[in-house]
Structure 1
Amino acid sequence: MPTYLVEIPHSETVSECKKVINVFLNSGSHIISHAHWGCKDGVHKMWFIYDFEDKESVLRAIPPLMRPQAQVIELVKFRVEDVRLYTAD
């Protein structure tokens, strides 16, 4: 199953941080328990890395209010042999 990194930015106020949390909690989305937050360091974004069937499944797990801001990235691990193929001249 593919692994995805999801980044969702929000504005730099405490009330906006709380709003994002409440949107996820009120939607019933379970991924909030996997979220990492940058707010304490002044980076007002949340991230989570999670396995999903596909990008559509990722988007369904994100509350509709947060979907327009969400960036969804499929993560891939390359083996050393794979990297050598791309760097060989």
Structure 2
Amino acid sequence: MPTYLVEIPHSEKVSECKKVINVFLTSGSHLISQAHWGCKDGVHKLWFIYDFENKESALRAIPPLLRPDARIIELVKFRVEDVMQYTEA
């Protein structure tokens, strides 16, 4: 199953940070327990890395109110052999 990085930005207001938390909690999404927050360091985004069937299922896991600003990025790992083929050009 593919792994995705999901990034959800929000404004720097403390009330907005709390709003995002509440949106996750009231939606029943279990992903809030997987979230990493940048707010303490002035980067007002949350990220989580999770396995989903596809990007659409990752998007459906995000509460509807937060979907428009979310970025969903499929993550892959390359083997050394995979990377080496690019140096042989």
Query: Structure 2 stretches of 5 or more lacking a match?
Result: none
Query: For the residues of structure 2 that align with 1:42 and 1:79, how far apart are their CA atoms?
Result: 34
Query: For the residues of structure 2 that align with 1:9 and 1:19, how far apart are their CA atoms?
Result: 12
TM-score by length of 1: 0.98
Structure 1 residue 59 displacement after superposition: 0.6
Structure 1 residue 88 displacement after superposition: 1.1
Amino acid at match of 2:76: V
SS of 2:12 mapped into structure 1: coil
SS of 2:47 mapped into structure 1: strand
Identity percentage of aligned residues? 83
SS of 1:66 mapped into structure 2: helix
SS of 1:11 mapped into structure 2: coil
Query: Structure 1 stretches of 5 or more lacking a match?
Result: none
Query: For the residues of structure 2 that align with 1:43 and 1:37, how far apart are their CA atoms?
Result: 8
Structure 1 residue 86 displacement after superposition: 1.6
Amino acid at match of 2:8: I
Structure 1 residue 2 displacement after superposition: 0.3
Amino acid at match of 1:16: E
Query: Within 5 Å, which residues of 2 pair with 1:1-89?
Result: 1-89=1-89
Structure 1 residue 50 displacement after superposition: 0.4
Deviations 1:9-58 (A, max 9, x none): 00001100000000000001111100000000000000000001111110
Query: For the residues of structure 2 that align with 1:75 and 1:61, how far apart are their CA atoms?
Result: 17
Question: Where in structure 1 do 4 or more consecutive aligned residues deviate above 3 Å?
Answer: none
For these two proteins, the number of residue pairs brought into alignment is 89
